[in-house]
Amino acid sequence: MKANRLFALGLSAAMAVGMLAGCGSSASSATSTASAAEASSTAAKSTGKGKVYMLNFKPETDQAWQNLAKDYKKETGVEVNVLTAADGQYATTLQSEMAKSDAPTIFNIGNTTAAQQWNDYTYDLKDSDLYKHLSNKDLAINYDGKVAGVANCYESYGIIYNKAIIKSYGKLDKAVVKSADEITSLDTLEKVADDIQNRIDEVNTQLADDGSDYQITEAFASAGLDDGSSWRFSGHLVNMPLYYEFKDAGLEDLTAGQAEVTGKYLDNYKRVWDMYVRDSAADAKTLNSGALNAESEFGNGEAVFYQNGDWEYSALTDEENGYLVTSDDIDMMPIYFGVDDENEALCVGTENHWAVNSKASEDDINASLEFLNWVITSDEGRKAVTEKMGLTAPFDTFTGDFQTKNVFAQTSQKLQDDGKKIVDWSFNATPNVDDWRADFVSALTAYTDGSGDWDAVKTAFTDGWANQWKLAQEASAES
């Protein structure tokens, strides 16, 4: 995600640390705008209508929340205090604050494991207006017979592509497709990417004839395996085989995971990965060098396809970055995987869910629910979420002027409206995520540069998963 690399203690921390934080998260090193002690002290002051104390997860949204808190108090008289944890410190801050007498009334949980850890503290939101307004109930966390958390934003990822370049390519003799709309499966995508890669000069000639400034060097932007990029493939692309395997296993929560994985769909992963590598200008032996910049390659019109998410929209369209691509030329398609392509939407999910503290007083619970409902229904709240925070909100109240301006997010919603099925973020279940990914990337790098074989990738995927799951369980039991 650039830093979107998109939560609690014990097993939850082991599974979540290092994950790509959801909802366009930033690498910001922002710290709390008030000390935990100050927030708790202020939160203790009640207006008699109940009070609200929110422990915010996202540092980059802090000022917007502080402003909303002031606006809400001015409008209703209800005290709202917001403490924003420093980047990367949410789990420890949450543990500290929950141990106090004036604990947060609203907090964040990232996944089912976090819901399990904080089960005694999560109020059942199933009858709340917040849950009723949730446009896609798959974006709630259900645990222990209750709605433990409701997503406050969501992100989508897939394959970003340049419509204009594909349109010019489509004018070539014997082009596989005439426009990007015809790419609806891995079979077609593979043929198009291969053909473009083999006809770079012809495509560039056609682009020039069409008056375009784009000049391509590759079909796919580089698939970097350095620490700053490998999460796209050890997390986001790995999500695909995990998702379909978890579906086959009949898991109710496709983001919760299971103790063992078989690698049933790893051949599909290999097929996509091999396409990324062969249809790129990057030297396969240098993918882990850290010298590659896929965003720049795509942004400057050198690449036609780029696996990433909707958080890239602002970077690609920011005039200060000086990229050639325009919002009119870019869009996103699913990561077609050769399994259920005709029904597949983008990968949609979040690691940001509002939970309400069930141990708070009844007045404080009601005040917290009323505040969150105001955020998603009032003009002030909705404007802050979409414009100031830059988030895509999964509520039916975000219509008209409050709809996201992000083209990728709009495509994600359209695919869902057309009946396509979102691909859940099953990578959220990765046990000891940093360690598992490191081993997987090491094996994938060796396979790609020719120093290793695919069997080692399979072993890292399956045996590595089982080992790390066991270690994570043991760590959780000891905590």
In a domain, 6, yes or no: no
How far is it, in rounded angstroms, from Cα 64 to Cα 247? Answer: 38
Rg (CA), the chain: 23
Query: Going along 69-110, which residue ranges are E strands?
Result: 80-84, 106-109
368 and 323, same domain (yes or no):
no
269 and 366, same domain (yes or no):
no
Three-state SS at 336: coil
Residue 194 phi, psi (nearest 5) = -60, -45
Tell me the two tokens of residue 69.
Answer: 């808190």
What DSSP character marks residue 123?
P
Q: Which residue has the tokens 């695909």?
A: 240
Domain count, the chain: 2
As a whole number of angstroms, the longest Cα–Cα distance in the chain is 75
Q: What CA–CA distances, in Å, run from 377 to 82, 105, 125, 134, 154?
A: 19, 20, 17, 12, 17
Query: Is the CB of residue 116 less than 8 Å from the CB of residue 149?
Result: no
Query: Is the CB of residue 139 less than 8 Å from the CB of residue 153?
Result: no
pLDDT in the model for residue 48: 55
How far is it, in rounded angstroms, from Cα 402 to Cα 207? Answer: 36
296 and 386, same domain (yes or no):
no
238 and 106, same domain (yes or no):
no
Strand order in the sheet with 52-56: 80-84, 52-56, 106-109, 353-356, 146-151, 140-143
In a domain, 475, yes or no: no
We report the CATH number of the domain holding residue 65 as 3.40.190.10
In a domain, 144, yes or no: yes
Tell me the two tokens of residue 439.
Answer: 């081993």
In a domain, 422, yes or no: no
In a domain, 267, yes or no: yes
State whether the Cα torsion 339-340-345-349 is positive or negative: negative
pLDDT in the model for residue 479: 59
Residue 148 phi, psi (nearest 5) = -80, -30
In a domain, 203, yes or no: yes
Spell out, as residue ranges, where the chain has pLDDT lower than 50.
1-47
Residue 227 phi, psi (nearest 5) = -60, -30
Query: Going along 47-169, which residue ranges are E strands?
Result: 52-56, 80-84, 106-109, 140-143, 146-151, 155-162
293 and 383, same domain (yes or no):
no
Three-state SS at 232: helix
pLDDT in the model for residue 170: 98
Residue-wise pLDDT tens digits, 374-396 = 999 999 999 999 888 878 999 99
In a domain, 191, yes or no: yes
Tell me the two tokens of residue 293.
Answer: 């910049």
pLDDT in the model for residue 9: 32
Q: What CA–CA distances, in Å, run from 192 to 115, 204, 220, 415?
A: 43, 15, 11, 22
Strand 52-56 and strand 330-333: pairing? unpaired
222 and 111, same domain (yes or no):
no
Residue 137: domain span: 11-154+350-398
Query: Is the CB of residue 186 less than 8 Å from the CB of residue 272?
Result: yes
55 and 119, same domain (yes or no):
yes
196 and 246, same domain (yes or no):
yes
pLDDT in the model for residue 111: 83
pLDDT in the model for residue 474: 87
How far is it, in rounded angstroms, from Cα 19 to Cα 22? Answer: 9
- What is the model's pTM? 0.80
Tell me the two tokens of residue 434.
Answer: 């940093």
